[in-house]
Chains A and B, each alone.
Chain A
Amino acid sequence: MDPMEGILLALQQIRAQKLKSFFAVIGVIIGVMFLITVVSVVEGMNRYMKEDFAKTVFGLNTVTVTRTPSVVFNGDREYWRRLMRRPRLTFADADLIREQLDVPALVAVVSENNGKLEGPNGTSVENVWLTGTTADYFRIRQYDVEKGRLFTPPEDRVGANVVVLGFDAADKLFGVLDPLGRRVKILANQSGNPITGVFTVVGVLKKQGTLFGMSLDNRAVAPAHSALAPMVNPHGFVDQILVQGDGPEAIPALKMSAEATMRTRHHLRPAMVNDFELETADDSLSFWDKISKILFIAFPGLVAIALVVGGMVIMNIMLVSVAERTREIGVRKALGARRRDVLFQILVEGATLSGAGAILGILIGIGLALAVRAFSPLPAAISPLWISVGALLGVSVGVIAGIYPANRAARMDPVVALRYE
């Protein structure tokens, strides 16, 4: 019997018993759906991490020196206490790192806080990302202006009270007005004390979009030594020191040089571990790789459970269906069906049934992945490879689940089967 015949027959069967067929393959539907959804989101995250996140947060070819790691896996109290005892980074650290470098590189300090902006006519914006930094920051992060200009190294040095606004912040404060040359009042809390300063807008950054649903455009960037300094960090400390090389191959040297400088600054003896962090985009990716590996290890188990349970349900339903059709099988054998014909018929039936379930699961999974992308900050990338994997798994479950019932049907004694009522 040719496969097409078997598939058509099985489809007929499914059409005749829609609800029963649906329940038969619900495990397969759930398993495949889960597979497609999770893989799509994880793959989307992967792509996102590699293409957007790492670049936005850590910058290209950049070593970031910080006091504490940006991600902490080990959360015990002693560990935290040690982190909190680490010395803060200073402007002097940054200066020395710059002096000690023997390859061309850009160095910038960054201090950040949340605050509020007040514009003319009583307009204001809450929850603004405030950044006190040096002029090279814009080059390191590859930020460009939509209008106006960035602040300059001289303004940087004297700590001029000039500010470059993010696209959204400028839009909310000024609307249709031209923000350039206008005054903005910045307000922030530092160690419980409210601090304010008045700045002149010199530029507006190009729109950056969002990262995990957070706007990257609701921000204000001012020179590190300006009136913003006490708002973002007390007493001339800094949060981060950025060191950017010419290319990826410069990173190890930059890392070594910055590390040596910081160890000297902190008087660490050779046996002592670093009391600061050196992070690169690759580090953050390795962290993400760790997470995605865990996901990829844990979740096949869940998919497997759904598929095994689904397979068992299919097997039972097919056993019932084979028993119900004992007479039919007897007739087929009387008319010349060999064991392999009967076996094949039942296997194709199982494969068609679960294949239909897999297709449904794939469609629902794609729908869910698209919904995740549309309604949550998580990205999703639908990959044809995993769709094929889902379909293949689904069909295999049906074939494997069908082996026992099919074998039973194939071995029926035609005389007994024909007398079955």
Chain B
Amino acid sequence: MNGEVIRTEKPTKNYEIGAEVVHALRGVDLVVNRNEYLAIMGPSGSGKSTLMNLIGCLDTPTAGQYWLNGQPVAGLIDDELARIRNREIGFVFQTFNLLPRATALHNVELPLIYAGVPSRERRERAEVMLGKVGLADRMAHKPAELSGGQRQRVAVARALVNGPAILLADEPTGNLDSATGDEIMNLLDALFDQGQTIVLVTHEHDIAARAHRTVTLRDGLISSDVGRMAVAGA
């Protein structure tokens, strides 16, 4: 099914620092369909992360509208947003953001814990997911005992374990050497091929080139939106 996963209508985001107001987003109209592979580019400070936070329901816009899977999100309260993040969004961060004291397996289980999945099923699903990212033999390891690439794989497994509508990756290769970065990107490519909708933030052109559409931001506005390919299956 190829519906709209993301639709934004002139969302703005202002940050007030003392008397000064920073306009991080100035009204970005964006539609992302199911099974798209979208890269967001732009210079530092152009609003990429702010837009990601909005799309990922970590934050709400100052003004404007946002629909996720057709559901309006802009006016929701904290706990409702948490529920949406849990069910619909999978985050992959530049700095991995794994819990340092927890094993790889427990890290992957976290979204299922908050989804209220019983512990047996939780464990099985997390194990399957870690197997898919090639870490079946590293489940009991803590993040400190894993390489950077392995950590990011754990993060990908964690992002996907609850079957989210979109995978959001903010500079997923930013903390990795290029060979390892390529590995992670190959993993994302494979996930896209399996039908996962992906939104990727990067400032590297060769990373962005893997996506099928590139949106470039400048000063909180979209400066270009280039679809390299027709949307898969459309």
Chain A residues engaging chain B, CB cutoff 8 angstroms: 1-2, 5, 12-13, 16, 327-328, 330-341, 413-415, 418
**B59 interface contact, C-beta 8 A:** yes
**B79 interface contact, C-beta 8 A:** yes
A338 in contact with B53 (CB, 8 Å): no
Binds A, one of B82-90, B176-184, B185-193: B82-90
A336 in contact with B99 (CB, 8 Å): no
A337 in contact with B114 (CB, 8 Å): yes
Give the nearest-CB partner of B168 in chain A.
A334
B79 contacts which chain A residues (CB < 8 A)? 338-340
B59 in contact with A334 (CB, 8 Å): no
In addition to A333-B85, A335-B86, A335-B114, 9 A-B residue pairs with Cβ atoms within 8 Å of each other are: A328-B100, A333-B82, A335-B85, A336-B111, A336-B114, A337-B114, A338-B83, A339-B78, A413-B59
A331 to B85 Cα, complex, angstroms = 11
B87 in contact with A327 (CB, 8 Å): no
Most A Cβ at <10 Å: residue of B53, B83, B87, B162: B53
Give the nearest-CB partner of A337 in chain B.
B114
B87 contacts which chain A residues (CB < 8 A)? 336
User: Residue A335 contacts which of B53, B101, B158 (CB distance < 8 angstroms)?
Assistant: B158
B99 in contact with A334 (CB, 8 Å): no
A10 to B78 Cα, complex, angstroms = 26
A339 contacts which chain B residues (CB < 8 A)? 78-79, 82
A331 to B92 Cα, complex, angstroms = 11
User: Residue B110 contacts which of A12, A332, A413 (CB distance < 8 angstroms)?
Assistant: A332
A414 to B115 Cα, complex, angstroms = 18
Nearest CB of chain B from residue A333's CB, rounded to whole Å: 6
A13 to B101 Cα, complex, angstroms = 9
A331 contacts which chain B residues (CB < 8 A)? 97-99
B72-127 CB contacts (< 8 Å) to partner A: 78-79, 82-83, 85-87, 91, 93, 97-101, 110-111, 113-115, 119
A332 to B158 Cα, complex, angstroms = 12
Nearest CB of chain B from residue A195's CB, rounded to whole Å: 82
**B144 interface contact, C-beta 8 A:** no
Nearest CB of chain A from residue B117's CB, rounded to whole Å: 11
A406 to B83 Cα, complex, angstroms = 20
Known A-B contacts A1-B114, A335-B110; A418 and B82 likewise in contact (beta carbons under 8 Å) = no
A327 in contact with B97 (CB, 8 Å): yes
Known A-B contacts A1-B114, A339-B78, A415-B53; A334 and B101 likewise in contact (beta carbons under 8 Å) = no
**Contact count band on B:** 20 to 34
Give the nearest-CB partner of A333 in chain B.
B82
Nearest CB of chain B from residue A323's CB, rounded to whole Å: 16
The 4 lowest CB-CB distance pairs between A and B, nearest first, are: A336-B86, A336-B114, A338-B79, A338-B82
B113 contacts which chain A residues (CB < 8 A)? 1, 5
A336 in contact with B115 (CB, 8 Å): yes
Nearest CB of chain A from residue B226's CB, rounded to whole Å: 28
A334 to B159 Cα, complex, angstroms = 10
**B56 interface contact, C-beta 8 A:** yes
A418 in contact with B93 (CB, 8 Å): yes
Nearest CB of chain B from residue A112's CB, rounded to whole Å: 71
Kindly supply a per-residue 1/0 record for chain B positions 129-173, scoring 1 wherever the CB is within 8 Å of any chain A CB and 0 otherwise: 000000000000000000000000000001000100000000000
Nearest CB of chain B from residue A420's CB, rounded to whole Å: 11
Most B Cβ at <10 Å: residue of A5, A333, A334, A341: A334
Give the nearest-CB partner of A410 in chain B.
B78
Most A Cβ at <10 Å: residue of B82, B101, B110: B82
A340 to B56 Cα, complex, angstroms = 20
Give the nearest-CB partner of B84 in chain A.
A336
Q: Can you offer 28 A-B residue contacts whose CB atoms are under 8 A?
A: A1-B114, A12-B101, A16-B101, A330-B97, A331-B97, A332-B99, A333-B58, A335-B85, A335-B91, A335-B110, A335-B114, A336-B85, A336-B114, A336-B115, A337-B114, A338-B79, A338-B82, A338-B83, A339-B78, A339-B79, A339-B82, A340-B79, A341-B114, A413-B59, A414-B59, A415-B58, A418-B93, A418-B97
A16 contacts which chain B residues (CB < 8 A)? 101
A12 contacts which chain B residues (CB < 8 A)? 101
Nearest CB of chain A from residue B169's CB, rounded to whole Å: 13
B110 contacts which chain A residues (CB < 8 A)? 332, 335
B58 in contact with A337 (CB, 8 Å): no
Nearest CB of chain B from residue A330's CB, rounded to whole Å: 8
A334 to B79 Cα, complex, angstroms = 11
Nearest CB of chain B from residue A352's CB, rounded to whole Å: 15
Give the nearest-CB partner of A417 in chain B.
B58
A339 to B79 Cα, complex, angstroms = 7
Nearest CB of chain B from residue A409's CB, rounded to whole Å: 13
B58 in contact with A414 (CB, 8 Å): yes
User: Residue B82 contacts which of A13, A330, A337, A413 (CB distance < 8 angstroms)?
Assistant: A337
A415 in contact with B59 (CB, 8 Å): yes
A335 contacts which chain B residues (CB < 8 A)? 85-86, 91, 110-111, 114, 158
A334 contacts which chain B residues (CB < 8 A)? 56, 58, 85, 91, 97
Give the nearest-CB partner of A16 in chain B.
B101
A332 to B115 Cα, complex, angstroms = 12
Give the nearest-CB partner of A1 in chain B.
B113
Nearest CB of chain B from residue A322's CB, rounded to whole Å: 15
A329 to B110 Cα, complex, angstroms = 12
Give the nearest-CB partner of A419 in chain B.
B49
B83 contacts which chain A residues (CB < 8 A)? 336, 338
Nearest CB of chain A from residue B79's CB, rounded to whole Å: 4
A337 to B86 Cα, complex, angstroms = 8
User: Residue A328 contacts which of B56, B59, B86, B99 (CB distance < 8 angstroms)?
Assistant: B99
A339 to B114 Cα, complex, angstroms = 11
B59 contacts which chain A residues (CB < 8 A)? 413-415
A281 to B86 Cα, complex, angstroms = 71
B119 contacts which chain A residues (CB < 8 A)? 2
A331 to B99 Cα, complex, angstroms = 8
